[in-house]
Amino acid sequence: KAGVTQTPRYLIKTRGQQVTLSCSPISGHRSVSWYQQTPGQGLQFLFEYFSETQRNKGNFPGRFSGRQFSNSRSEMNVSTLELGDSALYLCASSLGQDTQYFGPGTRLTVL
């Protein structure tokens, strides 16, 4: 079974731009969660989608948004990028209430 995939793997943007990251879950998984990983704050939950509905949201500003499609693929968008948004963004999928399986992450650098 193919694992969680994330595209792109690396991204460089400048302040003020917006960015869209993509996550393809394991086949059959309907839940997709997003996390931000930084050296200072560690791993922090962004949001979770299940069957195209946002089920839970972490403590991040409205510039961070996401969506899930009918095939369970998910995207997250960050608008008006700030230097502090530089991070590794991880996506995880699960069947529902089961174990989360993580993708390799997208490394975002904001200049």
* Alpha-carbon span 14 to 70, nearest angstrom: 32
Asked if 70 interacts with other proteins (CB under 8 A), we say no
Is residue 92 within the footprint of other proteins (CB under 8 A)?
Answer: yes
Nearer CB in complex with other proteins: 81/87: 87
CA distance 50 to 55: 6
- The rounded distance, in Å, linking the Cα atoms of 98 and 42 is 23
31 touches other proteins (CB under 8 A): yes
Residue recorded with tokens 């969506």? 67
Q: Least CB distance from residue 56 to other proteins, whole Å?
A: 4
- In the complex with other proteins, which residue's Cβ is closer, 70 or 99? 99
Q: What are the phi and psi torsion angles at 29 (to 5°)?
A: -80, 135
Give the three-state DSSP class for 107: strand
Q: Is residue 38 within the footprint of other proteins (CB under 8 A)?
A: no
Give the dihedral of Cα atoms 39, 44, 50, 52; nearest 10 deg: -70
Stretch that binds other proteins, among 16-24, 62-70, 77-85, 88-96 (CB under 8 A): 88-96
Binding site for other proteins (CB under 8 A): 3, 31, 33, 35, 42-45, 48, 50, 55-56, 58, 90, 92, 94, 96-97, 99-105
